[in-house]
A and B are shown apart, each in its own frame.
Chain A
């Protein structure tokens, strides 16, 4: 059984001090394995976005630990956390994912180039990533020459280009019609089945249902979860069979 790509243990995040402390998250445990897509569902204010920010190293927990690819973010310097973000974590947001002045392949190659990968190699990896999400033919197009669904596919390719395999998606189908949104979720799901670990934050049950496991968040607490993977995970001891 492979190690979790993302592991949150006892994560609490408080904002404010003293009498006005607001607990955005309270004692959240969550592990996401390679090949697994986990949806986090909750109303606004339930702590979904806080959870995603913590998982991506954009925010730090008040207590508890966030471990990405075996590295406890709390033990790293800011520069090291930034490196983990570049090399291990990819984001897909509702919109504004792509730089409008770059073509699809340039957008996807950008995080690799920022990390010091040479231009030619970065582009080759970017083309492969675009092929994997079914938009290889659009490599030379600019974002405004693509549909919303195509842009989200490019964003998924960029999130998982190179060695990165933790994909954090925040309402990635928000601006799309239901059929196009479903295609994007199909791609997301396929990339997870190919080995990535995905966290999908959504308030839409129909979208969450594409996940192996759905975690219900209410007022910063995980109140329940559904899905067979949850049972398997909780039944197996850490480092168990397989």
Chain B
């Protein structure tokens, strides 16, 4: 159990750092502060974790050192093409309820909205579809419990059902917030006026 959790944490730090480096080259100390800012400090890292993760990312070819150390001896890192592909794969795949504590989803969305070039609504929908598939599976299990069936088992199923439902509702909420923020950005950017008659929107799911 502890091993699995440690594995999850290390994998998520890897992807988190890659997401931050997608914004541009940075060094470990700065990355740590950025990570805390992006995830609301719900999941604080220490500098040692950051540097050991950067070492492993460099070993695996996902980042490279960007130039010489600065006057304080700090080394900046830059994401490679391989690293970018790894990051795209992470954002494109839903978080599994079985493999990871659910925090990973919140972390992933927090990073998705702050990483350039990520289609946040697609990340949300990918997760929603996966969570819904799980919810359908749980509901199918429920249909096999007869009405007078084992109460305890059906209550356990219900707890999983309600948890999955809560996650989907939260995803709906995230989607609405992201869509509203995008609309506000559009209206605050007069150099890109929306075509008055265009039926097709530029955004993924379009306008309201």
Contact = CB atoms under 8 A, between A and B. Distances in A.
A227 B136 contact: yes
B196 A209 contact: no
Interface of A: 18-19, 21, 23, 41, 43, 45, 186, 189, 204-206, 208-211, 214, 216, 218-221, 223-227
B136 A211 contact: yes
A9 B165 CA distance: 31
B23 interface: no
Nearest to B208: A45
B99 interface: no
A23 B199 contact: yes
B154 to A, nearest CB: 10
Contacts of A19: 196-197
B206 A226 contact: no
A148 B13 CA distance: 51
B125 A223 contact: yes
B162 interface: yes
Interface string B135-152: 110110001000000000
A204 B168 CA distance: 9
Interface residues of B, number: 29
Interface string B180-208: 00000000000000001101010001111
Interface of B: 125-126, 128-133, 135-136, 138-139, 143, 161-162, 164-165, 168-169, 172, 176, 196-197, 199, 201, 205-208
Contacts of A189: 143
A204 B162 CA distance: 11
A206 B162 contact: yes
Given A19-B197, A43-B176, A224-B125, A209 B208 contact: no
B197 to A, nearest CB: 5
Given A189-B143, A209-B161, A225 B138 contact: no
B139 A216 contact: no
A180 to B, nearest CB: 13
B165 A206 contact: yes
Contacts of B196: 19
24 contacts: A18-B197, A19-B197, A23-B199, A189-B143, A205-B131, A205-B132, A205-B165, A205-B168, A206-B135, A208-B132, A208-B135, A209-B138, A216-B125, A216-B129, A219-B201, A219-B205, A219-B206, A219-B207, A220-B206, A221-B205, A223-B125, A224-B125, A225-B129, A226-B133
Contacts of A218: 205-206
Given A19-B196, A226-B129, A221 B136 contact: no
